[in-house]
């Protein structure tokens, strides 16, 4: 995980990640909604879910990870924060993985900070297709290099400044302050730390696919021993189901979305609309795994975790498990966490898969 100090105007380092982080709220902004999570510590190394909120966003306010309507998204952030009833105004936000260039490099161990920055800047020039003054750049030493005791591995992350500044502006529009900027795939990996206890031997030496199914995009992040070994993005998501409901039952987009979330559709819905969608979604996941096998050294996935708004569709985990022949679980990062009595457990169970990234962001307050 990258860590550092926020310096949005810094010429070289964005330092998007900050150690000793004060209390903050994790905020995941997607094409369909703003999701917020606030965690607290219990004093025993455990975490407690204090409150959360999911606030819908207008259609096309955010497209392909790009904020198209700053006022609408900022207003969504403000409403979500107000609904949560929190006093904390510091936020941890995330950039979509597609907007961040990451690269591992090897440098000589023991360099001073300024020497390391110069080395990173030199290396970054080779890999980033933009002028350095146009990007926010950060780096983190990962540890000793595998093949040399005299070198260390460093992870570089870079994003266009405007992408970072748009999210900072959204927070400010809502009267809040962005103090941490993460990457959504990193945040989901952080939340996975809470879920791996559900696996045999806590997933050690096993290959685990985190599959996040949002409204318009499906993201696959394959991990082994908490290290990402493969990532893929596919344009498929819950919007397809909404459109099929709309077409099949002659509803408006708003009516179809509400019916998908709240029920009340005719009995034919499950057989004629939902089941074909689940089958197609399972096929998309199977194809993604086939790409993984054909482009890496791996030929097996041991477990799949489903997250995102589609993950709680009734029967999806069974359909995916049958199609892929892989043990499939619905992600719930709060399963072993204390939960505030103000939170309704049944609603939380429904919402948990959509809160994985926001939970991972909220965990940044516990960074050492």
Run of H or E including 31: none
Average pLDDT, the chain: 88
Strand order in the sheet with 218-224: 227-234, 218-224, 207-213, 303-307, 327-330
120 three-state secondary structure: helix
Q: Is the dihedral of CA 215, 221, 226, 227 positive or negative?
A: negative
Average pLDDT of span 144-160: 83
Strand order in the sheet with 25-29: 177-183, 90-95, 25-29, 33-41, 47-56, 338-339
Q: What is the pLDDT of residue 13?
A: 31
Q: Assign 3-state DSSP to the chain and report helix, strand, coil percentages, each to 5.
A: 40, 30, 30
The answer to whether 102 and 187 have CB atoms below 8 angstroms apart is: no
Q: What is the pLDDT of residue 24?
A: 94
DSSP string, 155-215: EEEEEEHHHHHHHHHHHHHTT-EEEEEEEHHHHHHHHHHHHGGGSGGGGTT-EEEEEEE-S
Label residue 339 by pLDDT band (50, 70, 90): very high
Average pLDDT of span 192-202: 93
CA 49 to CA 51: how far, in whole Å? 6
72 three-state secondary structure: helix
Predicted confidence (pLDDT) at residue 316 exceeds the cutoff of 60: yes
How far is CA 226 from its chain centroid? 15
| Residues 6+ away with beta carbon under 8 Å from 99 | 65, 159, 160, 163
Closest CA to 174 of 263, 55, 14: 55
CA 212 to CA 210: how far, in whole Å? 6
Closest CA to 333 of 48, 42, 45: 48
Average pLDDT of span 235-258: 91
358 three-state secondary structure: helix
For the stretch 92-125, pLDDT in tens is: 999 998 888 888 888 888 888 888 888 888 888 8
The answer to whether 320 and 280 have CB atoms below 8 angstroms apart is: no
- Name the residue ranges covered by the structural domains of the chain: 194-336
For the stretch 73-83, pLDDT in tens is: 999 999 999 99
Predicted confidence (pLDDT) at residue 310 exceeds the cutoff of 70: yes
The H helix count followed by the E strand count for the chain is 11, 16
Average pLDDT of span 252-274: 88
Predicted confidence (pLDDT) at residue 8 exceeds the cutoff of 50: no
Beta strands 218-224 and 148-160, pairing class? unpaired
360 three-state secondary structure: helix
Predicted confidence (pLDDT) at residue 10 exceeds the cutoff of 50: no
253 three-state secondary structure: helix
The answer to whether 220 and 253 have CB atoms below 8 angstroms apart is: no
CA 124 to CA 186: how far, in whole Å? 20
For the stretch 16-51, pLDDT in tens is: 444 456 899 999 999 999 999 999 988 777 899 999
Closest CA to 63 of 181, 239, 210: 239
CA 270 to CA 293: how far, in whole Å? 32
Q: What is the pLDDT of residue 21?
A: 63
Q: What is the pLDDT of residue 76?
A: 97
67 three-state secondary structure: strand
Four-way CATH pick for 194-336: 3.60.21.10, 3.40.30.10, 3.40.50.300, 3.30.420.40: 3.30.420.40
CA 191 to CA 180: how far, in whole Å? 16
Q: Which is higher by pLDDT, 340 or 17?
A: 340
Q: What is the pLDDT of residue 323?
A: 97
The answer to whether 54 and 343 have CB atoms below 8 angstroms apart is: no
């Amino acid at each position: 995980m990258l860590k550092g100090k926020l310096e949005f105007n810094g010429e070289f380092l964005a330092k998007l990640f900050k150690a000793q982080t004060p209390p903050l709220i994790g905020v995941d902004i997607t094409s369909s909604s703003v999701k917020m999570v606030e965690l607290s510590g219990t004093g025993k190394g455990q975490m407690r879910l204090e409150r959360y909120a999911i606030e819908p966003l207008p259609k096309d306010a955010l497209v392909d990870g790009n904020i198209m309507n700053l006022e609408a998204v900022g207003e969504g952030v403000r409403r979500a924060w107000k609904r949560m009833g929190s006093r904390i105004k510091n936020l941890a936000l995330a950039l979509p993985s597609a907007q961040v260039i990451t690269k591992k490099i090897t440098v000589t161990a023991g360099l001073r900070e300024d020497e390391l920055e110069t080395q990173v800047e030199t290396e970054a020039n080779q890999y980033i297709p933009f002028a350095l003054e146009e990007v926010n750049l950060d780096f983190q030493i990962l540890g000793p290099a595998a093949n040399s005791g005299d070198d260390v591995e460093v992870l570089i992350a870079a994003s266009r400044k405007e992408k970072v500044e748009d999210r900072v502006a959204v927070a400010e529009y809502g009267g809040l302050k962005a103090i941490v900027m993460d990457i959504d795939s990193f945040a989901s990996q952080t939340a996975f730390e809470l879920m791996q206890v559900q696996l045999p031997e806590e997933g050690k030496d096993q290959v685990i696919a985190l599959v996040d199914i949002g409204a318009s995009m499906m993201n696959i992040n394959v991990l082994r021993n908490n290290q990402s070994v493969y990532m893929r993005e596919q344009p498929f998501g819950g919007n397809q189901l909404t459109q099929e409901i709309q077409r099949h039952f002659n509803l408006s987009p708003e009516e179809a979305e509400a019916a998908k979330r709240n029920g009340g559709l005719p009995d034919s819905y499950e057989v004629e609309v939902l089941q074909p969608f689940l089958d197609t979604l399972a096929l998309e996941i199977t194809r993604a795994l086939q790409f993984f096998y054909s482009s890496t050294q791996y030929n097996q996935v041991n477990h799949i975790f489903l997250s995102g708004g589609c993950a709680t569709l009734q029967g999806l985990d069974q359909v995916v498990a049958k199609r892929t022949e892989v043990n499939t679980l619905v992600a719930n990062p709060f399963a072993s966490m204390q939960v505030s009595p103000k939170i309704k457990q049944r609603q939380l169970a429904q919402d948990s898969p959509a809160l994985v990234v926001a939970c991972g962001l909220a965990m940044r307050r516990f960074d050492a």
